Structure 1
């Protein structure tokens, strides 16, 4: 993230994917709230609310994703103009349609 983004004041996670997520985390001497995302929220993402600097969505590659496959989704997600959701990018990676072998 850019240095001018500011500190996250709230983090939201998909409760189905992270049922044991803490209610708060400590970062840079600040306590930040961790809240469940609304039902139907996008899977495989963590959202950082940086107050007046806006929100940032981060794609999370599952830890069991093979290393050879895990590098491709972030590269595609970071492509300017990419319209795909994190879940769709990961599904393409699992199917081998991102130019590699399936996971």
Structure 2
């Protein structure tokens, strides 16, 4: 399940806040290391957690506690106010994957979400969110992030070689080549009659 939910308008400015970027494994799927992924817009837990918890409370029961690894969060507040209740926030430096958010609820139990780094390019974030929500995957949050980084570096390092090959008349000569996860734009070279 992929959810993009807009939280209610704030009283201060009456403008809708940004939607939550969240992807969850299908309900009833077999347990795996991750239950989905969350792509926050910043590393400010006080600003980001309320919208996430507001979306998850009706789905998973009231979220009462969240834990993070402080390697990815510059400030870890002890408690974050969320629509009528507070959520306790804790941290584990060595015991918890640095790219994971653990959520606990009174009613249902616990969930582990991959935290997609805020400045991740949209195409890479989309791939990470889909992988984390796939119940067949058994990779940890950090291994998924490392794999995405490796694929991005590989795709970028392959580009110069492709450009040389194409400049020598290889397939796709004259085409603009982007990494596989990006959008490809092809422009055929225009031919000019001799003598122009």
TM > 0.5: yes
Indicate the residue corresponding to 2:99 in structure 1: 44
Q: Deviations over 1:42-71 (max 9, x none)?
A: 121111111241001111111121122111
1:28 correspondence with 2:28: no
Pair 1:51–1:37, CA change in 2 (3 A): farther
1:17 correspondence with 2:72: yes
Helix, strand or coil for the counterpart of 1:58? Answer: strand
TM-score, normalised via structure 2 length: 0.46
Deviation of 1:29 after TM superposition, in Å, equals 0.7
Helix, strand or coil for the counterpart of 2:142? Answer: helix
Helix, strand or coil for the counterpart of 2:146? Answer: helix
Deviation of 1:41 after TM superposition, in Å, equals 1.3
- Output the CA distance in 1 between the equivalents of 2:57 and 2:104: 14
1:3 correspondence with 2:58: yes
User: What value does the CA root-mean-square deviation take over the aligned residues?
Assistant: 2.0
Structure 1 runs of 4+ aligned residues shifted over 4 Å read none
Preserved contact between residue 93 and residue 100 of structure 1 (Cα < 8 Å): no
Helix, strand or coil for the counterpart of 2:86? Answer: strand
Whose RCO is larger (CA < 8 A, sep 6+)?
1
- Output the CA distance in 2 between the equivalents of 1:61 and 1:81: 19
Q: Deviations over 1:5-44 (max 9, x none)?
A: 1111111010222130211111121011101125231121
Indicate the residue corresponding to 1:57 in structure 2: 112
1:92 correspondence with 2:173: no
Pair 1:38–1:91, CA change in 2 (3 A): closer
Larger Rg: 2
